[in-house]
Amino acid sequence: MTVTETVPEANPDAPVIDVEEAARARRDKIHRIARWILPSLVMAMTLLAWHLYVTLNNVPHYVLPGPLLVGQSVFDDWGILWPALLTTLRLTLLALIFAILGGVALAVAFTQSKWAEMSFFPYAVILQVTPVVAIAPLLQIYVDSAFVAALLCAWIVAFFPILSNTTIGLKSADHNLQDLFTIYGASRWQRLRYLSAPSALPFFLGGLRIAGGLALIGAVVAEFVIGRAGTGLGLASTLLEASYRFNFGRLYAALILISAMGVAIFAVTSLISHLLLRKWHESALKREG
């Protein structure tokens, strides 16, 4: 029962104040503010603790550089870090795009043909469980371009979550709706477009969030392995070179940029998921209470 508070009878036309609604609005406002304030506070405390530890214990910069030195390295080495960041970002996004195209296309083929699923799904599993660090040296041998070899490694890592989640989603359409489509004589294309695809969208978007992070991981691992040959691909190669030169400021700067890129990719994919699902799917609808 909703708790309400009314004004005195002397003014019966005054508006009714809904105490519960007002409390819920205040609580939602506090949650929105805390969602940004609390992580920022934790980050500030972590940086302060890091700075105090390095300063008070006189830790050498070649053992653990302080946050001020890392920030200065980002500024001083931006001419090196920015092109490397663009290379890693391009590698990650291309791998994710190809994973989406290949994973969705193969998932549709699996749901349309049992023979296709039985024939190719085991090989998709083999690609998923094979460590990318074992594949990267072979690709480096057989592929002339280091960038293409790294792209294939990142694609292999990001491909399976898209394929698996989309396949499950396409098979998750409500059986009653499937019977209804059968009664009205819907074609296979109409089933796919109006029934299976909407049912699969939340699953696909969940796989997209996973694949975005895995594409970056695959790109970084490939750069570590392939970058040893002096190809100088992206941030991981820059990080590796900085460790050889004992330039720990640049090393930590590259590491922070990699982490920031991963957070940005997750934020973008989460935003896409929210925008596509917020008006109709239970996972994105605002809950009361």
Assign domain 67-277 one CATH number from 3.30.200.20, 1.10.730.10, 3.90.1150.10, 1.10.3720.10.
1.10.3720.10
pLDDT at 17: 54
Q: What is the pLDDT of residue 228?
A: 58
CA distance 182 to 166: 23
- pLDDT value for 1: 42
What's the pLDDT score for residue 210? 93
Query: pTM of the full predicted structure?
Result: 0.81
Q: Which is nearest to 200 in space by CA: 228, 176, 171, 227? A: 171
Query: 95: which residues sit within 8 A by CB, 6+ positions away?
Result: 151, 154, 155, 157, 158, 215, 218, 219
Alpha helices in 171-246 (DSSP H): 175-183, 188-191, 197-226, 235-244
Looking at the DSSP bridge assignments, the partners of residue 17 are: 5
Comma-separated ranges of CATH 1.10.3720.10 domains in the chain: 67-277
- Cβ–Cβ contacts within 10 Å for residue 253, how many? 28
Q: Which residue numbers in the chain have pLDDT < 70?
A: 1-18, 227-232, 281-289
Burial track 272-288 (b if 16+ CB lie within 10 A, e otherwise): ebeeebeeeeeeeeeee
Tokens of 182: 């059968």
What's the angle, vertex CA 282, arms to CA 93 and CA 98, rounded to 5? Answer: 15
Q: What is the per-residue pLDDT for 11?
A: 52
From the list 219, 229, 209, the residue with the least C-alpha distance to 283 is 209
- The pLDDT, as a whole number, for residue 268 is 94
